[in-house]
Amino acid sequence: MRLNTRVEGIEPDRGEVLLAHGERLSYDALVIGTGAEASLPDIPGTAQDGVFTLKNLRDGINIKEYIKRNRCRRALIVGAGFIAMEMSEALRNLDLETAIVYRGELPVKKWDPVFSGVVLEELTKNGVSFIARKSPVAVERDSQGLRLLTDEGKFEADIIIFALGVKPDTGLASEAGLATGKSGAIKVDSSQHTSREEIFAVGDCCESYHRVSRKWTHIPLGDMANKQGRVAGRNIAGYSLVFPGVVGAQSFKVFNLEVAMTGLDEKGAEASGYSPAGTIIWGSPVAASMNRGEKLGLKLIADRVSGTLLGAQAVGQSGAVSRVNILSACLWSGMGLDEIGYMDFAYSPPFSGAWDMIHTAAQVLEKKL
Amino acid sequence: MRLNTRVEGIEPDRGEVLLAHGERLSYDALVIGTGAEASLPDIPGTAQDGVFTLKNLRDGINIKEYIKRNRCRRALIVGAGFIAMEMSEALRNLDLETAIVYRGELPVKKWDPVFSGVVLEELTKNGVSFIARKSPVAVERDSQGLRLLTDEGKFEADIIIFALGVKPDTGLASEAGLATGKSGAIKVDSSQHTSREEIFAVGDCCESYHRVSRKWTHIPLGDMANKQGRVAGRNIAGYSLVFPGVVGAQSFKVFNLEVAMTGLDEKGAEASGYSPAGTIIWGSPVAASMNRGEKLGLKLIADRVSGTLLGAQAVGQSGAVSRVNILSACLWSGMGLDEIGYMDFAYSPPFSGAWDMIHTAAQVLEKKL
């Protein structure tokens, strides 16, 4: 194990990696797991003290220490994806005044606007301000603290966190002549080989095959990185193993809300050549007789031509992730709404109605196709 | 709607049903939904006041009223299936001393003995006595209350509930000459037709096709009854619709425990011509870093020959039903352990580890095949 050791270059034709200070290491097989880097906007002032991104454990520790050391009271988060959501909860738990500044209208834009609206309500209910339709143009500092300048007004803070997504870190791979895909991430096959047989790439730096869109995509998530690492390792050790791809399942928790999705939304489905239709239903995550005021929203997207499920989204205090996981298994094997509408689940009133919301949604959507 | 109206007979050749007092109703299509009846052992004394079975809402109300009216303090439940489990919780919630008398060693024998042991612990922790290896031989009453006589000792109680399972109520159907299956329930096809085209049967009185055992079985559960009713209705209305069968998914809650299963256990798998292997793993329903002391047990059963999943069981304070539902979707489409071990779920630490217990269990079992 060589920790804290920077690789300066890969030389595939010599089968060597070049370390800092000129040292070289030779390899028979090489695994690239360079991950992704948090995006920063190209605006002045982002390099100052008190401006952070959040990608790894070290970033998290740094943010916590900075807040403590400087007795921060006011935090700004720029961006409104799931990292921004999770950060807003963490900052409120530390009792900071927290505001999210976002160029769009609603948070978590990957989800249906109706569900993004539910997330916005949850933020508001928990004291997070959501400042919509503002793009950052600079960060300044004076004796009062930091100031985020936007195209429409300034916002003061003691700490600013940019949560604008990540980009695959492909520098070393590209310099070594390895192919990248349309997504910008390193191109791999199902055994995680890059364009060179003896070099593997895994995790946030590489692409994954999306079983629903049937395209190679860049969806950087920790669970896939784990799986791809094992697939590469087994192939290197001589056991053939294939990474069977992803369906785009993801989730986050924000305060008391579970938010989850899988597969494609209508836009993604169209871009993949499908003819999508969608429906949202609202219901109870457990049998109505056992519900204590919880509501679950479930959206299904399916193909008009084949009736196949293409995607699902869910939002609620409970039961959202478990539904999306079931529907991920359905997507995985390409099930149609006709089957999903009559599938057999482990029904019991504390856990669902006799007709689960999955059944109802599938039947409602099937009628719309 | 003719409620509280007893059908005395079906006369298929005339297309009529015979009501009490000689009235007749004619039909073009007939749906039999006679359900199942709770089993009572063939022993003396079960017809007395204070001895109950639990099958429908009326039974539940009667039990509650009896307890209140007679200020019952001590309850006995005979049997240890999921109705017995649910009843024991309900009776403890009413503050009754509650004991379960059972001829076997452990409760809920459909589950692996290891998981039944966890259920037993949960009963004990919540003040329910479990009296094993006793078969009832008679019920008696004296001024002190009821007494259950068994092959090994007597037990006193103010109320006795027999929870010994159900039998399909096929009386009318059999008298009308309709075929019953090996399970004893009414034989139907996938559109819910009985052996006569114009007579349908749905719910607890009829068989269902089990997609894993590939046999027609009698698994009387409320969610299937709902689905079969809709299938029959649509077929009668001229829209062809098929009930795609069951995988045997079921669950119950007992105190703070979720208990769930789907598919076949080893014995059922062998009886269906498979060559099963199983494994149990224990882990955390959420990411280990977020776990507050919860343990989840997950058992998978798969076929040694094909590597296909055959069944799953789970027990834990949370996360058991959601895993079993995902695995029901996997069973539904006949997935193999190789795929299940690398499936894509909506990972986030509050909801699972990066490797979900499903992944781990599938990989552990695959090595044992």
Q: What is the pLDDT of residues A222-231, one digit of tens each?
A: 999 999 999 9
Pairing of strands A36-38, B51-53: unpaired
Interface ipTM = 0.95
* Confidence band of B292 (pLDDT split at 50, 70, 90): confident
Domains of chain A: 28-32+170-236 (3.50.50.60), 38-166 (3.50.50.60), 250-368 (3.50.50.60)
pLDDT at residue B200 greater than cutoff 90: yes
Q: B253, B259 in Cβ contact below 8 A?
A: yes
Q: A317 in contact with B at a CB cutoff of 8 Å?
A: no
Inter-chain touch A347–B247, beta carbons under 8 Å: no
**Alpha-carbon A63 to chain mean position:** 21
Contacts of B192 in chain A (CB under 8 A): none
Q: How confident is the model at residue A298 (pLDDT cuts 50, 70, 90)?
A: very high
What confidence category does residue A234 fall into, taking pLDDT thresholds of 50, 70 and 90?
very high
Asked whether A347 and B250 are in contact (CB, 8 A), the reply is yes
Helix (H, G, I), strand (E, B) or coil at A247: coil
Question: How close B101 gets to chain A, by Cα (Å)?
Answer: 24
| Tokens linked to A273 | 């050549």
CB contacts of B345 in chain A (<8 Å) are 223, 249, 325, 328
Q: Is A112:A265 a contact under the CB 8 Å cutoff?
A: yes
Which of chain A's residues have a Cβ under 8 Å away from the Cβ of B366?
Answer: none
Cβ of A247 and B351 within 8 Å? no
State how far the Cα of A73 lies from the Cα of B205, in Å rounded to an integer.
Answer: 66
A333/B contact by beta carbon, under 8 A: yes
**For A257-274, what is the mean pLDDT?**
98
State the DSSP H helix or E strand holding residue B276, giving kind and residue range, or none if neither: strand B276-283
Length of chain B, please?
Answer: 369
In degrees and rounded to multiples of 5, residue A186 shows phi and psi of -65, 135
Tokens for B244, please give them: 């795609």
Looking at residue B21, its pLDDT comes to: 87
- For residue range B169-179, list pLDDT tens digits in order: 999 999 999 99
A251/B contact by beta carbon, under 8 A: yes
Q: What is the reported pTM? A: 0.96
What integer pLDDT is reported at residue A21 of this predicted model?
A: 87
Question: CA A288, A299, B319: angle at the middle one, nearest 5?
Answer: 60
Write the DSSP assignment of B114-164 as a string of letters: HHHHHHHHHHHHTTEEEE-S--EEEEEEETTEEEEEETTEEEEESEEEE--
3-state secondary structure of A185: coil
Does the pLDDT at position A20 exceed 90?
Answer: no
Distance CA A222, CA B353 (A): 10
Confidence of residue B202 (pLDDT cuts 50, 70, 90): very high
Residue B223, judged by CB atoms within 10 A of its CB (0-12, 13-18, 19+), counts as buried
Among A residues 284-303, those touching chain B with beta carbons less than 8 Å apart: none
A239-251 pLDDT, tens digit each: 999 999 999 999 9
Which one-letter amino acid corresponds to residue B44?
A: P
Of A243, A252, A253, the CB nearest to B342: A243
Query: What is the C-alpha separation between B330 and A77, in angstroms, rounded?
Result: 40
Confidence band for B20, pLDDT divided at 50, 70 and 90: confident
For range A39-46, the mean pLDDT: 96
Nearest residue on chain A to B255, alpha-carbon basis? A350
Q: Is B87 on the interface with A (CB under 8 A)?
A: no
Mean pLDDT over the full length of chain A: 97
Mutant choice from B345, B358, B359, B360 vs A, greatest count of A C-beta within 10 A: B345
Q: State pLDDT tens for residues A51-62.
A: 999 999 999 999
B47 and B54 Cβ atoms separated by less than 8 Å:
no
Question: What is residue B333's predicted lDDT score, i.e. its pLDDT?
Answer: 95
Q: CA A45, A46, A52, A58 torsion: positive or negative?
A: negative
The residue type found at B88 is S
Q: Is A325 close to B342, i.e. CB distance below 8 A? A: no
Name chain B contacts of A233, Cβ cutoff 8 Å: none
Interaxial angle between packed helices A113-125 and A82-93, expressed in degrees from 0 to 180 and rounded to the nearest 10: 10
Report the DSSP pairing between strands A145-150 and A153-157: antiparallel
Q: How far apart are the first and last CA of chain B?
A: 56
pLDDT in tens, A309-344: 999 999 999 999 999 999 999 999 999 999 999 999
pLDDT single digits (tens) A96-125: 999 999 999 999 999 999 999 999 999 999
Give the span between the Cα atoms of A188 and A352, in whole angstroms.
41
pLDDT tens-digit series, residues A130-154: 999 999 999 999 988 999 999 999 9
Q: Are strands A296-303 and A309-316 parallel, antiparallel or unpaired?
A: antiparallel
pLDDT, tens digit (0-9, with 9 covering 90-100), for B91-109: 999 999 999 999 999 999 9
Classify the phi-psi angles of B293: left when phi > 0, otherwise alpha if psi is within -120 to 50, otherwise beta.
left
Q: What pLDDT, on a 0 to 100 scale, did the predictor assign at position A369?
A: 93
Do B249 and A346 count as a contact with CB atoms less than 8 A apart? yes
